[in-house]
Structure 1
Amino acid sequence: MPATPARPQLLIFDVNETLLDLGKLQLAINQEFKSETAFKQWFALLLQYSLVDTVTGNYHNFGQIGDGALDMLAQGLGQPARPAPRKKELLALIAELPPHPDIIPGLTALQQAGFRMITLTNSPDATVQKQMAYAGLTGFFEQLLSIDALRRYKPHPDTYHSACERLRVAPAQAMLVAAHGWDTAGAQLAGLQAAFIARPGQQTYPLAPAPTLTGPTLPHIARQLLGK
């Protein structure tokens, strides 16, 4: 069994799918486009074109890209583009998502153990504030950070470094907690530790370093951090 890594001074949590269950949004998009794969296609487009914006310096916030991705999804499925009010209704659901069942127990254990915790999300500032309030998670976090001010999306190294600088913690003393292999890869390649929550359907990137910690739920990660 590998040695337990040094206790991180800061835990940086991804939000969408890591903390929050996207099931409500997934169901709505799949029903809207009458396809069981519509949500996965839309989310892949959202991530792909956030990276296009980052690489080209042509920044739009996550909501704007999500709106454009709905148009691209409709086109790809051979369907008409949805009216702006309907797209707004669908996208508004991202601020009304519950936490995964494991999240409050896991965050509670980590908070009681004295860990400093923040969020770092690709969603805009206003969105993450609404998300955390709706999910009842705000009180667990020292700060709710977004990449919006930086105008670069994760997994750009600057996103992780900026969060560490803001909290005055060296990258090696910080750990990203995420359910996305691209996110844990980005954090580790930026010099951070990473914990991967292996939610169903999620995989790590085999060409990146293996996550520092891996577990099926946040309590599993918490127990490893606490040496239990």
Structure 2
Amino acid sequence: MPATSPRPKLLLFDVNETLLDLGKLQQAVNQDFKSEFAFKQWFSLLLQYSLVDTTTANYHDFGQIGDAALDMLAQALGQQARPKARKKELLQLITELPPHPDVVPGLKAFQQAGFRLATLTNSPPSTLQKQMKYAGLTDYFEELCSIDSLKRYKPHPDTYLTTCQALGVAPADSMLVAAHGWDTAGALLAGLQAAFVARPGQQQYPLAPAPTLVGTTLEDIARQLVSV
């Protein structure tokens, strides 16, 4: 950890892909659309159009955008749009995801070291609560924070700054932990510290400031933080 960075008091965790394994949802989307790239294309559309909403001062929750992105995916692949009931079945899977194997040991290590833990996700509160309950992670966090009340999606700087303010911690004393380069870039540019979890297939954004910490697992990040 850079000597110029203070030990953070608050850790904010991204949820989808960082804490939760999206493999079950990925398999279902790929099978339904008969393409090994369908899930990645759908998830990219979901993120892209969440940013369209934010930059145009519009707002639909993540589930609504996910539903629309399934229609766009079908169109892009030259397929028929899925019935509303089928789309609901696919989207429901995001609330039934297990944590990555390193998550519980990593969260325990953070707790034992005295860090405050909260989530910060683009998912709406109802989805977030179901996700955390299903994964057995609720009790590790003092707050389950979502961008929904602000109605701006990460990586808009206000999402990070408002959460820090709500939890009473200065941005410089807060650290986002995420497996997405766009998310760590957003946090760093908002004045937070950031730890990039290098999940398979995820990359840092080379034109953003370098993350404060980089590790392959939450346990790896925890070891680096605890040693400070």
How does the TM-score come out when normalised to structure 1? 0.98
* SS class of match (2:52): helix
Between the aligned partners of 1:171 and 1:58, the Cα distance in structure 2 is 26
| Alignment-derived partner of residue 95 in structure 1 | 95
| Alignment-derived partner of residue 7 in structure 1 | 7
| Alignment-derived partner of residue 160 in structure 1 | 160
Letter of the 1:212 counterpart: T
* SS class of match (1:126): helix
Determine whether 1:30 maps to 2:30: yes
| Alignment-derived partner of residue 193 in structure 1 | 193
1:3 offset after TM fit, Å? Answer: 3.4
Letter of the 1:54 counterpart: T
Equivalences for residues 59-208 of structure 1 within 5 A: 59-208=59-208
| Alignment-derived partner of residue 45 in structure 1 | 45
Deviations 1:98-141 (A, max 9, x none): 00000000000111111100000000000000000000000000
Write out the 4+ residue segments of structure 1 that deviate beyond 6 Å after TM superposition: none
Q: Which runs of 5+ in 2 are unaligned?
A: none
Aligned length: 228
Between the aligned partners of 1:118 and 1:74, the Cα distance in structure 2 is 36
Letter of the 1:36 counterpart: E
1:58 offset after TM fit, Å? Answer: 1.4
1:4 offset after TM fit, Å? Answer: 7.6
1:2 offset after TM fit, Å? Answer: 4.7
Letter of the 2:35 counterpart: S
CA contact (8 A) 1:4 1:224 kept: no
Deviations 1:7-46 (A, max 9, x none): 1010000000000000000000000000000000000000
What do you get for the CA RMSD once the two structures are aligned? 1.0
CA contact (8 A) 1:181 1:196 kept: yes
Q: Identity of counterpart residues, as a percentage? A: 77
Letter of the 1:56 counterpart: T
Q: Which runs of 5+ in 1 are unaligned?
A: none
* SS class of match (2:35): coil
Between the aligned partners of 2:28 and 2:221, the Cα distance in structure 1 is 31
CA contact (8 A) 1:4 1:227 kept: no
Between the aligned partners of 2:162 and 2:134, the Cα distance in structure 1 is 26
Letter of the 2:216 counterpart: P
CA contact (8 A) 2:30 2:38 kept: yes
Between the aligned partners of 1:187 and 1:113, the Cα distance in structure 2 is 23
CA contact (8 A) 1:38 1:73 kept: yes
Between the aligned partners of 1:149 and 1:219, the Cα distance in structure 2 is 31
How does the TM-score come out when normalised to structure 2? 0.98
